[in-house]
Chain A
Amino acid sequence: MIQVTNLVKDYTLAAQVYRVLNGISFTIPQGMLSAIIGPSGSGKTTLLNILGGLDSPSAGQYLLNGRDVSHFGPDEWAHERNHTIGFVFQSFQLIPALSARDNVALPLVYRGIPQRLRRIRADEELEKVGLGHRIHHRPQQLSGGQQQRVAIARALVANPPVILADEPTGNLDHATGLEILEILRQLSQAGKTVVIVTHSQEVAQVCRQVIEIQDGHIVTNTMEMEHSL
């Protein structure tokens, strides 16, 4: 579960302070498929970075699975990301020099899991996203959709309860985008909290919770209450 209260983020540029997030409060329950939506510059990516601990808030409280992580330092966050959060990026963010398998296994390296076990786990996850036959391929040998599947497998390999996805369909054609969305939807049904940052209404429509942001404020926060398990 993600719970933020009065979250504020200020940036200082040329001695001028810009408020990117201005008193944001919301709750995303465990197992929710949630969209954070808004035009460019609305602050949605900054919010996702704060949720993932890549950026820190200027003020406010952030509870992740009931723990206050508002004042975590960079290395506490590194540990937290490794254990609690899986990232999926718009531009896939795979390491070109590594095979699909080694890319997927990467989070396990930082858990000190031996290479043999890492490979077994990576192969399992690649199999789940339908890329069991592509384990030795490098990212540049895969299509955009396949690369995003590798990225999803990587986000899942350490079995984190939260998946944060930044425009996961942004670089994909329509049909492939729908496939990726379906995978994310199934993950939320399996109990993972999935947060998608997007500017696309179509993507938002698939989600059960939609938080709309404009100029650093929440404009609407709607949630379907019925469970479709």
Chain B
Amino acid sequence: MTWKDGFILAFHGMISNKLRAILTMLGVIIGVAAVIVLVAIGQGASSMVTSRIETLGTNVIFVSPAAGTPFPVSETNIVAHALPFSLQVVPSMNTGSKVSTLTTQGSAQIAGTTPSYLRLGGISLAAGHFITPEEVSASQHVAVLGANQVSNLFGAQNPVGSSIMIMGQKFQVVGALNAVGQGPGASQDNEIFIPITAAQTLFRTTQLSQMIVKTSNPNQANLTADYLTNLYTNEFGSSTAVSVASEDQVLLTLQATRATFTNLLAGTAAIALLVGGIGIMNIMLVSVTERTREIGIRRALGATREDVLLQFLFESMTMSLSGGLIGVIAGLGIMHLVPLILKTPAVFSPAALILAFVFSTAVGLIFGLYPAIKASGLDPIHALRYDG
């Protein structure tokens, strides 16, 4: 039997039992489509993080105390004047909290900070103004809302001038930010910014969550990071009491996290493919039993054991290949819908497509092998007498 005959035969078999063929292929279709879509989502998230970090610049250093390390607001002034070149030092006090208006409520990341936060870059105002030095000095209850908070609390309305309740206190909205998307750590879209002084009273602490240091010259960033690392290692006698991470390091960590995330998604999809393969094996085993007599007839007419083996192998491979093709088409279709429905970017990965396709073919081959061997090993006399 030639390869062409094998595939023609297998294709006829599939056409003559369409519903069963589709149900058998479903596992592979879902598996392949899942690999393509999930990897695209993973890569999309990764590329968004990278581009966000690139807009911030590479001269930003994040200084975060470990739990239990005393790190008061006054550290900001110490660091600001520690080096012989000018530094932008932005304090940040963060906590999660419920927020509400008269009619709506939700949850937000509350960030107590100073006007210099705006100069770090990466955010821009859609309406109103950011926290002013006067509002910080007067510890005023004013708030600037991230894009998601605006839409959650006020819908399409302009929130500037309205009031919101944070931890039982009334705050006046003075500004609203444009959407930025997912950045390093929590997205600013979900944050509400208030003056650091108001945050100290509200949170009843002077402990900082994070200090963001920006050098005006990117070449000074590493020097500054080294200086701060030494400073805090000496001060606390431990290198882990305060973590000092430059933008590059954050980027690398995030990339590694995203890679893990992508691998996890691909792994999940691969399991779906594997389950699809087991589905094919089940149906092929049923098919061998149902067609025992046919196998006997073919053997009587001159089919060798290898011919029978190839016939069933071709069938399982045709099934998995067709499933793979449909899965690729479905996956590409869904991938294009992801940004519209989930509002998250999806980046097509040719490697994932090829991998999914090769994997699905291998699944057909591997899981088709056992039923095919079983078919080719049937005794023709018993097969001819089989009364199934």
Residues of A within 8 A of B (CB): 49, 52, 54-55, 74-75, 78-79, 81-83, 87, 89, 93-95, 97, 106-107, 109-112, 115, 154, 158
Q: Given A78-B304, A79-B304, A106-B301, decide whether A54 and B380 contact each other with a Cβ distance below 8 A.
A: yes
Cβ A82 vs Cβ B302 within 8 A: yes
Rounded to whole angstroms, the CA-CA distance of A82 and B293 in the bound complex is: 18
Cβ B305 vs Cβ A97 within 8 A: no
Cβ A54 vs Cβ B300 within 8 A: yes
Q: Give the chain A neighbours of B381 by CB distance below 8 A.
A: 49, 54-55
Query: Looking at chain B, what size class is its interface with the partner chain?
Result: 20 to 34
Rounded to whole angstroms, the CA-CA distance of A13 and B384 in the bound complex is: 20
Q: At the interface, yes or no: B307 with Cβ under 8 Å from chain A?
A: yes
Q: Give the chain B neighbours of A110 by CB distance below 8 A.
A: 1, 298, 301-304, 307
Cβ B306 vs Cβ A81 within 8 A: no
B170–chain A nearest beta-carbon distance, Å: 78
- Lowest 8 CB-CB distances: which A-B pairs, in order? A82-B302, A110-B302, A78-B304, A107-B301, A75-B304, A93-B297, A81-B302, A54-B380
Q: Give the chain A neighbours of B384 by CB distance below 8 A.
A: 54, 89, 93
Residues of B within 8 A of A (CB): 1-2, 5, 8-9, 12-13, 16, 293-294, 296-307, 380-381, 384
Q: Give the chain B neighbours of A75 by CB distance below 8 A.
A: 304-306
Contact partner, B8, options A78, A87, A112, A115, Cβ 8 Å? A115
Q: Give the chain B neighbours of A97 by CB distance below 8 A.
A: 12-13, 16, 294
Rounded to whole angstroms, the CA-CA distance of A154 and B307 in the bound complex is: 19
Q: Give the chain A neighbours of B13 by CB distance below 8 A.
A: 97
Contact partner, A93, options B9, B16, B293, Cβ 8 Å? B293
Rounded to whole angstroms, the CA-CA distance of A208 and B339 in the bound complex is: 83
Rounded to whole angstroms, the CA-CA distance of A94 and B299 in the bound complex is: 13
Cβ A79 vs Cβ B5 within 8 A: no
The chain B residue with its CB closest to the CB of A164 is B300
The chain A residue with its CB closest to the CB of B387 is A91
